[in-house]
Amino acid sequence: MKVTATELPEVKLIEPRVFGDERGWFLETWRMERYREHGIGPEFVQANASSSRRGVLRGLHYQWPQPQGKLVWVSSGRVLDVAVDIRPSSPRYGRWVAFELDDQQHRQLWIPPGFAHGFQVLSESACFNYLCTEPYRAEFDAAIAWNDPEIAVSWPLAEPDLSPKDAAAPYLAAIERDRLPR
């Protein structure tokens, strides 16, 4: 397994070892001691999967006051996955990184607590997987506008397919700093 710190050093790109032959392939998606060696994943308490069609954009999501860390990967299809540092005290506040995740390279992204997360589906459809450090709580659910001009994520597909919640999300500057992760 190769783990690389990104331009946001707490966000890590993981390239697991893939064992394959003419019959197919095998890989470990999570093994506690190997990931902990790289500072990834306190304890994961929830696993999620979502299926979306091309152009769907989910995000930029976070939880407050109980932020989640997420280990994410794609089991079928291809997405652009984005993490945004939304910790007001961070020198990288408002900065983002993005990586393509797909079912060919099997890369994963570790998004620690304190970061907003989103993705856009680039293939005809995609199955997206999450391991989360905190359970989802609807009352803590929060979002930032996907098209916030101060964050300026370069989404590859114009006119994304958004949920009503994501379409109505505020810009980061409109969110009170005491309602953001520390």
Judged by DSSP in three states, 178 sits in: helix
CA 95, CA 19: separation in Å to the nearest integer? 35
Neighbours of 134 (CB within 10 A): 18
Residue 83, both tokens: 């993490």
The set of catalytic residues is: 61, 130
CATH number where 130 lies: 2.60.120.10
pLDDT at 42 over 80: no
Residue 60 — pLDDT band, cuts 50, 70, 90? very high
Q: What is the pLDDT of residue 102?
A: 98
Domain containing residue 91: 2-179
CA 16, CA 106: separation in Å to the nearest integer? 7
Asked if 40 and 12 touch (Cβ cutoff 8 Å), the reply is yes
Query: Mind listing the pLDDT tens digit for each residue in 117-159?
Result: 999 999 999 999 999 999 999 999 999 999 999 999 999 998 9
Q: How many domains does the chain have?
A: 1
Asked if 126 and 74 touch (Cβ cutoff 8 Å), the reply is yes
Query: Mind listing the pLDDT tens digit for each residue in 68-118?
Result: 999 999 999 999 999 999 999 999 999 999 999 999 999 999 999 999 999
Q: What is the pLDDT of residue 182?
A: 83
Polymer length of the chain: 182
